[in-house]
Amino acid sequence: MDKLIIEGPARLTGEVEIDGSKNAALPIMAATLLSDGKSVIKNVPLLSDVFTMIKILRSFNVRVSFSDGVLEIEPNGYKGYTALYKYVSTMRASICVLGPLLARLHHAKVSLPGGCIIGPRPINLHIKGIKALGADAKVEHGYLIAKTKGLRGASIYLGGAFGSSVLATANVMMAATLAKGKTIIEHAATEPEIVDLAEFLIKMGAKIKGERTHTIEIEGVKKLHGANHTVIPDRIEAGTYMVAACATRGDVTVKRAEIKHMGSLVDKLIQAGAVITNKSKGAIRVRASRRLKAIDVTTLPFPGFPTDLQAQIMALMSTAKGISIITEKIYPERFMHIGELNRMGAQISLEGESAIIQGAKSLSGAEVMASDLRASAALGIGALVAKGETQISRIYHLDRGYRDMEGKLSKLGAKIRRVRE
């Protein structure tokens, strides 16, 4: 395994380019199973999760080529309906093959998903959705097994205990494209990644309306075809570098980003004292010349503050002036990074679903361990502002969502290197 060694403190300056969205690309890759035609998907990030999805597709005898951020997928005559544990156990988004397999083959066997350890993430809404469409589903020997004689449109409420579910919305929407009749998804997720998936499906010939709202209507069609599509920029990667710029009191222009996807983050950073300028299409300049002030943050479904930026904003607040409260409403147990940030000198306590942060004047380098993807990024931000050397182990989590973070940070002025443990 690799680890990152970061010498702080650093001040980030310059420009960084954002890759395509991992969370948009993965469901779109799964959606190609709905057609026999060739699809070309551009702006796909070079990440381990993408390669895992490629392995899953190839296990169905789907032809896949990947070069320079361009995926060519030809599922013509593919076989197999089992997504194996060895792939799905490493990445929760693998569950997105459920809807397409069920719609096309009327049979799907998908290992219960894994991924980051951030608390319970049940698949009950996925099961509820496909059952409403006419499938029989059961969990047996660690696999979700679903069968149908033919899917039929239905009205489905997908609200869960912590709001709408992005992946359940994606699965039901994909399955409904080939169902007989109309499907209405109530309390659907509205994240930009859902909109991007819907736009790809429409290019394939699907009839979808309301994908930017909490009520999505899908009129089933008999057949879909391949399509060309460019994946949206990764709003979480962009947000991570914006937070890092603020933490280091830097001046960074984030290129190839969509500010309209990050309204809640922009609002909170400005509230804390940062200066943010939308320079031109896809370029956002972030400046922070002094220590920022504490703010309160609550994670919520889009357009609320994203749970995938909660750890990063906590790292920023660790050295902000005053006391901040960060409340996690999506995954209430997503706080494993607190202990590691405290090892670096942060003063964070946990009370239920809220973290109380007393901003410290400085952090100190330490040996820390990444527990999940976004925690890895948060520890990196902490290391950039800490005095001395920080070693972050288990960074294979980081590689699931950030391409060459050490290279991008180095270009911005960080002293960072990757070494073998």
Q: How confident is the model at residue 122 (pLDDT cuts 50, 70, 90)?
A: low
Residue 209 token pair:
């309306």
Whether residue 315 sits in one domain with residue 284? yes
**What is the predicted pLDDT for the residue at 113?**
73
Please state, in angstroms and rounded to a whole number, the distance separating the CA atoms of residues 99 and 175.
4
Distance CA 403, CA 237 (A): 9
Q: How confident is the model at residue 282 (pLDDT cuts 50, 70, 90)?
A: confident
Is there a single domain that holds both residue 272 and residue 219? Answer: no
Number of domains in the chain: 2
Instruction: Output b/e per residue, 68-88; b: 16+ Cβ within 10 A.
Output: ebebbbbbeebeebbbbbebb
The tens digit of pLDDT for each residue in 225-269 reads: 999 999 999 999 999 999 999 999 999 999 999 999 999 999 999
Q: CA dist 199 to 56, 82, 147, 230, Å?
A: 23, 27, 27, 10
Q: How many CA atoms within 13 Å lie on the side-chain side of 359?
A: 20
10 Å CB burial of residue 11 (0-12, 13-18, 19+) is middle
Q: How confident is the model at residue 120 (pLDDT cuts 50, 70, 90)?
A: very low
Of 269, 274, 315, the C-alpha closest to 295 is: 269
94/215 same-domain check: yes
Residue range 17-37: mean pLDDT, rounded: 97
Same domain flag for 118 and 261: no
Is 116 catalytic? The answer is: yes
Domain hosting 222: range is 22-230
Q: Say which CATH number the domain at 225 has.
A: 3.65.10.10
For residue 224, give both structure tokens: 């879909």
pLDDT value, residue 223? 96
| Whether 85 and 54 share a structural domain | yes
- 411 and 294 inside one domain: yes
Q: How confident is the model at residue 114 (pLDDT cuts 50, 70, 90)?
A: low
Mean pLDDT, rounded, for 350-377: 94
Q: Convert the pLDDT of each residue in 162-218 to its tens digit.
A: 778 999 999 999 999 999 999 999 999 999 999 999 999 999 999 999 999 999 999
Cα-based angle 215, 127, 400 (whole degrees, multiple of 5): 85
- CA-to-CA dists, residue 321 to 239, 244, 247, 317, 318, angstroms: 21, 16, 12, 8, 9
Of the candidate ranges 22-31, 118-127, 344-353, the one whose mean pLDDT is the lowest: 118-127
Asked whether residue 56 falls in the same domain as residue 166, the answer is: yes
pLDDT, the chain, mean: 94
Q: What is the pLDDT of residue 220?
A: 98
Q: Are residues 127 and 35 in the same domain?
A: yes
34-88 pLDDT, tens digit per residue, is 998 999 999 999 999 999 999 999 999 999 999 999 999 999 989 888 988 888 8
Give the per-residue pLDDT at 279: 79
322 and 364 within one domain: yes
Mean pLDDT (whole number) for 102-114: 89
Predicted local confidence at residue 115, as pLDDT: 45
Give the pLDDT of residue 86: 86
Q: Which of 174, 208, 230 is the last residue of a domain?
A: 230
User: Which among 4, 93, 116, 158 is annotated as catalytic?
Assistant: 116
pLDDT the model gives residue 150: 95
Asked whether the predicted pLDDT for residue 299 surpasses 90, the reply is yes
Q: Kindly indicate the confidence band of residue 112, based on its pLDDT and cuts at 50, 70 and 90.
A: confident
